[in-house]
Amino acid sequence: MEVRRLERARWRSALGVMVLTAMVLSGCAMLQQIAALRQVDFGIDRVADGRLAGVSLDRVRSYQDLTAIDVARIGTALARGTVPLEFTLHLSALNPADNSVAARLIAMDWTLLLEDRETIAGRLEREIVLEPGIVSDIPLAIALDLSDFFQRNARDLAELALSVAGAGGAPKQVALRAQPTIQTSLGPIRYPQPITIVSGQVGSMPGARVP
């Protein structure tokens, strides 16, 4: 009986060490994954597929490039109290080559700020594996009503849209506040506080790196 008790005690002790070791290793892996995401360099790569009140901005470089029909369409939308702007904001994410692990981004809540004004919020729900040394593309589909946030005439709103869509005009301040969720060995972990992962200017100037 005494021998069996000793064997059971040793087995439980060994099992406890194994569990503790697994927890420590899992914790280390989790910390590595969190650190990897912290070190990722996010930036604005480009803006694509811009549309203002149904008018494609891909071929437009200034307000003067808009046709009379385009201007009429934007003016009619403004008269109705809605000026929808749609575009795809492509973020670049560079995980440093000296990182030992990939960062696994599985979701991201975000808020878009234009000219220091908070506009719309959204959520990206897809897994993006950010491998070390590789630039990854993170597309965000953006749709907002400019008239909800800017009380301007049709021309001013058109020029603002052109700048934001990267189609010309003076650069506009753009920021993206976000709360990423990453997959770790202990399950998904969401950042407790928002972080500014993109802050820069779009328009006639390229996107800036995160400060």
Residues 117, 179, 107, 166, CA torsion sign: positive
Q: Is 133 left (phi over 0), alpha (psi -120 to 50) or beta?
A: left
pLDDT at 143 over 90: yes
Angle between helices 154-164 and 68-79 (to 10 degrees): 110
pLDDT at position 168? 62
**Residue 178 counted as domain residue:** yes
**Residue 209 counted as domain residue:** no
* DSSP structural state of residue 209: B
CA distance 47 to 119: 17
Tokens of 124: 């990206």
**Residue 139 counted as domain residue:** yes
Residue 102 is which amino acid? A
**Residue 105 counted as domain residue:** yes
Q: Give bridge partners of residue 179 from the DSSP assignment.
A: 109
Query: 35-49, 88-102, 106-120, 151-165: which has the minimum mean pLDDT?
Result: 35-49
For residue range 38-96, list pLDDT tens digits in order.
Answer: 667 777 788 889 999 999 988 887 888 889 999 999 999 989 989 999 999 888 888 88
pLDDT at position 209? 34
CA distance 148 to 179: 24
pTM value? 0.72
**Residue 92 counted as domain residue:** yes
Percent of the chain at pLDDT > 90 equals 24
In 39-169, where does DSSP find H-type helix?
Answer: 68-79, 154-164
Residue 20 is which amino acid? L
Number of domains in the chain: 1
For residue range 120-135, list pLDDT tens digits in order.
Answer: 999 999 999 988 898 9
pLDDT at 3 over 50: no
Tokens of 193: 């506080």
Residue ranges making up the domain that contains 7? 2-202
CA distance 182 to 197: 14
Contacting residues for 153 by C-beta, under 8 A, at least 6 apart: 78
